Amino acid sequence: MTAKPFARTDAAAAILLLLWAGMVLGFAFLTAPLLFRILPSRDQAGQIAGLVVGRLDLAAWISFGAALALVQGVRWARSTGDADLLGPLRLWGAAALVALLMCFTSSFIVSPRLQAIRARMDGPVEAVPPEHPDRVAYQRAHKISRQLMGLRLLLALALAAGVVALPRARPE
């Protein structure tokens, strides 16, 4: 089995992961700081940032899912199932599944919780006293959301870099 089909799909997987990582870095270091500096209200900036995070979550589902399908699916279809080759593939696949689990957590647990807490607040977040239970819960959920995004970013970079370590052909 030649390494050419694997090299192409591995490159496509790495590009997808790096593209998503670039979007996250662009948001974290360019867009979010500008939103909070330029807009008149931190609440309005937070609402826009929340919408962007929702789009980044969708893009993460697509990027990690497609990368997993490209890397694992092609190898499965080509039947490179030698026992020696499964070590790096299993590790890579497990890391991709962890990233997808983080996508699930962010999309279906943390983000809805943030929205529910935000809906209970009468006004802007900064107008709620810091010791108020809703503000404390919001800050905690927001921190978890940031941590999940950071961990997925690290996983995307590691998976993109790890593609080069994956077996591309059976040793003859």
- In this structure, are residues 2 and 158 in contact, taking their beta carbons and an 8 Å threshold? no
- In this structure, are residues 138 and 117 in contact, taking their beta carbons and an 8 Å threshold? yes
pTM: 0.88
CA dist., res. 81 & res. 6, Å (int): 14
Low-confidence ranges of the chain (pLDDT < 50): 1
CA dist., res. 25 & res. 57, Å (int): 14
Among 6, 145, 157, 146, smallest CA distance to 75 is for 6
Q: What is the pLDDT of residues 46-89, one digit of tens each?
A: 999 999 999 999 999 999 999 999 998 888 777 655 555 567 88
* DSSP-derived secondary structure letter, 98: H
Question: Quick one: pLDDT at residue 168?
Answer: 74
